[in-house]
Amino acid sequence: MLFLINKITLILIIVISVTLVLALVFILFKMTHKERKVKIDDNFMTTMLNSLGGIDNIKSYSVENARVKFELVNVSLANLDALKELSPKGVFVSNNSVKTLFKYESSDIVKNLSKIKK
């Protein structure tokens, strides 16, 4: 009987220890892997706006499937080659719509545009 109690106690100690170790690993992982926001530099924003034909050429903008979608007043004012240099994934043009994916978060670009457009 004494052997059985010792065995159960040992198993209980092991289970509690493993649970504590897993909880500590999870907490440490969450603390060290916080989302890192990358600040968008002004040079990028200026180059992007100039490539799109200026702020007045942008009718609207939004995030669509992780890409930034721009509705332009006049696509011919946009310098698509310069825009392609900013976008490693390419630029998609359809009518007056330009969609592209930049190295920065699309939502951050849209937020910056909202501040500039005011």
Architecture of the domain delimited by 42-117: 2-Layer Sandwich (3.30)
Q: Report the distance separating Cα 91 and Cα 48, nearest Å.
A: 12
> In this structure, what token pair is assigned to residue 14?
């092991």
Instruction: Identify the pLDDT of residue 91.
Output: 92
- Helices 106-117, 42-51: inter-axial angle, 10-degree rounding: 80
Does pLDDT of 34 surpass 70?
Answer: no
pLDDT over 80 (residue 2)? no
Q: What is the mean predicted confidence (pLDDT) over 35-45?
A: 79
Q: How many whole angstroms separate alpha carbon 9 and alpha carbon 11?
A: 5
Decide if 58 contacts 109 (C-beta within 8 A).
no
Query: 0.75 exceeded by the pTM?
Result: no
List the chain domain ranges.
1-34, 42-117
